[in-house]
Structure 1
């Protein structure tokens, strides 16, 4: 049987796929035997960022930022999060999580999706792997993996799906859509982020990387309400946002367009067969509460690269046991993170007064007790390490 063209092929050129490619390139004796296949690669020297303020921002926790900085793939604009304020609309109780109690320079950062992707693509272009632009990818597995592109086929010993394939397994429709917007606040609070739970769903207000008085909004609500909010004029939308959020940041002014995305949980196995692994959005898509989806995917990439290093360096011939161990080691972090992000938006949106009061008391207890608060804060900061 002919040897495969590549040792590892990665489908999906989003942040998780690019991060895995960079990590593997640093461990592989021949980086050219790693292929990254995607349809959104930017031409060298180009950036996807335009003059318009793009509402798509990403919350990157401290551990993920350290990783991306190490890979020289950290964008030139970022807003730091030093304090997170968690509250519930209409009920007593709130929790503050501060970076000082965890002994880190910041809890996380907010970056533009476009700038992060442009920085990662530039780093990938420098690392020596084979970059393949393709809009159509189908795969077949036998002794090796055959990958059929629109105009040709290629073969690889292993395949990693990082996005573009929906996980098959656990599914939940939250009956919520997320409204993304960018607003200017009249009284900005430097380096503060807010997670406010409402009867409709969580409302995140995040510092924006483009200016100190800008905030990225992720407003989760019913699909009908989301379409209504998208259709409002800017002033009416800002008023509705103020009613839900309160006076902490003063008055809001809308900047740029609004976008709406449906929200659902999809989670499946990491190991799809003996030669195919799923990470990132191909393994799990989560509710955006607490901003854990990308951070979890980056941890997938780190652990997979560590697991495959002995096989890439030819110190272990059979990748099967390494892949099985990877899937087993990732299971606790994946399911704990999915469980947290699944539980929070549902428990706070029951519209049951007793449960709402209990949630408020829980927030108060977390605020009063560092012992109770620390495990949750550490998990959101860096995940469950194994």
Structure 2
């Protein structure tokens, strides 16, 4: 009964026949011993070599399990992964672009020059019509039938695109040299260099015998250099001043290594073949446009990091000082109200209560058309009244330490 109750309580009911003993079956004792040994040996083999249990798995399930075991857990993304992946994707894309031969470069360059003439004619039509011309109007301005104009326009634009896309790897190779000296990212430098490549491609003239890569390299460097210069500081300096400033730094460093001391302004100006006053002007403008972040951490004496803004004193009037000055002005007005009108006006002008400008006796005497001695007497009489304890009791708390 206890077994039945236990089976019911556990949620399953299993009817089993009672185990037969050796006496009930009448099996020889040696046979039972041999059977027990075989069972024990079989169980031991299963424990020692568990791979045999996998033989029952179907071949398809084996393949799925094998592939699943090779799948690694996703790794945590690193900082800058998006930027790196974008750059790698761009490099992979431009790496698959066909490099142009010299003959192809010359042919594409001629097409670009022809396209520029067409674009110039389109600009003239825009000025005349006050809007962008249609393809028909553009073709008529060029004296071409529309059936031949549109395919030719597509060919010219494709030639320009081929010329530019075939040299984007040159932009990357030049941009790599400027990454360490600027705050711009590699992608930003590539973008600025690509704009320089476009300008160089539009100005390249193959008839002069120059190589295209040699010509556009200057335009690429110029575009990257200008972008790096404009982003170098919050307050931008003109490009010629920035160039001179960097040259001053190089010359100063070279003279320091030569003389083993700090060079003078005259020595730097002589080395740069520049007038001293012009050099001082460049250094002054460079110093005026330098900025320092107030959130810049500074090593404190106690070892803790403090910020530059913690050392700047706020010169504005605090709310407490503003209230104190307001109360002082009210108390002064109450004290001055106990004087006569002449004494009150003389004291207000003498100590600048109205405009903050103190006037001497002569200036006040000119206002009242009296002698300065008379004004001095009025001031003395007013001060005698104000020094009375009953008069200045309310003002003592402002001068007490």
TM bracket, shorter-chain basis:
under 0.3
Pick 1 or 2: higher relative contact order, CA cutoff 8 A, min separation 6. Answer: 1
Higher Rg of the two aligned structures: 2
- TM-score, structure 1 normalization: 0.22
- TM-score, structure 2 normalization: 0.21
Q: Which structure dedicates a bigger proportion of its chain to helix?
A: 2
